[in-house]
Copies of this chain bind each other. A is one copy, B any other.
Amino acid sequence: MVKSVTHIRVRYAEVDQMGFLHHGNYAAYYEVGRGEMIREAGYPYSEMEKDGIVMPVVKMSAKFLRPALYEDNIRVETTLKELLDIPFVTFHHKLFNEKNELIHTSEITLTFFDPKIQKRVAMPKRLRDILEKSFK
């Protein structure tokens, strides 16, 4: 698997009137986690888009175990468990607060899509190669 860890401090703009990170805003945290993983591996997602491939989300699920609060420094662990020969890829995310409590889990599946031909395509070879190298 490939694993990447990043930290995100909860912003005031992201918190609702319960005082909790609003549930819709976790998606941006996963996205930061995935983005860091592939940027670290050597293929920033902004380059992939310039190369003509985008990655829309097809499926998402999440469990909210404890709230995240304003100014909490959240650890986002992103894991890629397998590379399959299909035009989909699934990431797992675990979020921890500063007390190291697991506060949130999520599983999200994206596809590779070529807007020019309006079709799903396989994972770009460049991404596949660098992710394979990162596998442990």
Instruction: Name A residues whose Cβ lies closer than 8 Å to a Cβ of B.
Output: 9, 11-20, 22-28, 31-32, 35, 39, 44-46, 49, 54, 56-64, 67, 69-71, 115
Contact = CB atoms under 8 A, between A and B. Distances in A.
Which one of A17, A39, A45, A63 has the highest number of Cβ atoms from chain B below 10 Å of its Cβ? A17
A18 to B, nearest CB: 5
18 contacts: A11-B35, A12-B35, A13-B22, A13-B24, A15-B16, A18-B54, A20-B56, A23-B57, A24-B28, A24-B31, A27-B27, A35-B71, A44-B71, A46-B71, A57-B64, A58-B63, A58-B64, A60-B64
Nearest to A36: B9
Given A24-B27, A25-B24, A58-B63, A45 B71 contact: yes
Given A13-B24, A13-B28, 19 more contacts: A12-B22, A13-B16, A13-B22, A13-B31, A15-B16, A15-B17, A17-B18, A17-B49, A18-B56, A18-B115, A23-B27, A24-B26, A24-B27, A35-B71, A39-B71, A45-B70, A59-B61, A59-B63, A60-B64
A26 B27 CA distance: 10
Contact of A31 (B11, B35, B54, B63): B11
Contacts of A28: 11-14, 24
